[in-house]
Amino acid sequence: MKRKSILIVLALVSLLAGGVFAHDDDSSYMRHMVMRWGQHGVMFDLTSSIVLEATGLDAPQLRESLLDGATLAELITANGSDPAQTSAELATQISEQIQAESQSRIAGLADWISEALQHSHVDKRRWRWSRPVPRLPFGGEMNGIVLEAAGMDAGELRSALMDGSSIAQLIEANEGDVAQVVDALTTQATDEINAATSARLERVEGVVSKAMERDFSGVFERMSKFRRGGRGFFGFWNSFGMHSDAGEAAEVEGA
């Protein structure tokens, strides 16, 4: 009987400890949870240090207030701060982040493109019926450069990739220079990234201004389907690793 009592006590202690640890894990996650929102390629953390200072709230308090329907402007005003000044500071921070992201993408383009051309083929060791249908690695004019260099149309290129050839091999088989193609693709991608960056920078002030008055209650539940996906510059998430012009978007992540 004594042994049975001891076992019951140990089981209860274990359950209580598990509950405490689970609560600690949840609390830790909530403390580090990031809420991002944006429009037209301008996406940012609603609980940034600038907003926290202006509202006088910590991140969990601000998240709860926003999800309860309070606007950033209301919270900032209630703390005796100026929403217009906060908006300007936030716009400056976001613009600097966009420019830094753009330069980071451009700096690594040549290596990334070269790697894509060398490893664009499908593993030929797999049964043909189980091989994924390959996609062209780029978009728009960049794919046009690849098709011209390989001397193929899109269907022929996909078929060749399916059979295990890489784009680099196909270019060489067409007596092309892979290094020159990489240079041409890098130039084209750089121009497209710079153009997209300029367009995003022009929208920053408007997006931030709208965020100040936005009711975020329900936004993150409604748009949770956009949380995951391939990240990138030109689609909601696409090839070059930056948010793009795809209307409104929202996501919640553990930082």
239, 233 contact by CB (below 8 A): yes
Mean pLDDT, residues 133-150 taken together = 87
Give per-residue pLDDT as tens, 143-185: 999 999 999 999 999 888 888 889 999 999 999 999 999 999 9
pLDDT surpassing 90 at residue 39: no
The answer to whether position 206 is within a domain reads no
The answer to whether position 153 is within a domain reads yes
The answer to whether position 175 is within a domain reads yes
Q: Which residues contact 234 (CB under 8 A, 6 or more apart)?
A: 139, 192, 196, 240, 244
Which residues constitute the domain of residue 124?
Answer: 109-184
| Its pTM surpasses 0.75 | no
190, 142 contact by CB (below 8 A): no
The answer to whether position 104 is within a domain reads no
Closest CA to 37 of 206, 197, 205, 220: 220
The more confidently predicted of residues 40 and 238 is 40
The answer to whether position 172 is within a domain reads yes
Domain count, the chain: 1
pLDDT surpassing 70 at residue 3: no
Average pLDDT score over the chain = 79
The answer to whether position 102 is within a domain reads no
The answer to whether position 151 is within a domain reads yes
The answer to whether position 115 is within a domain reads yes
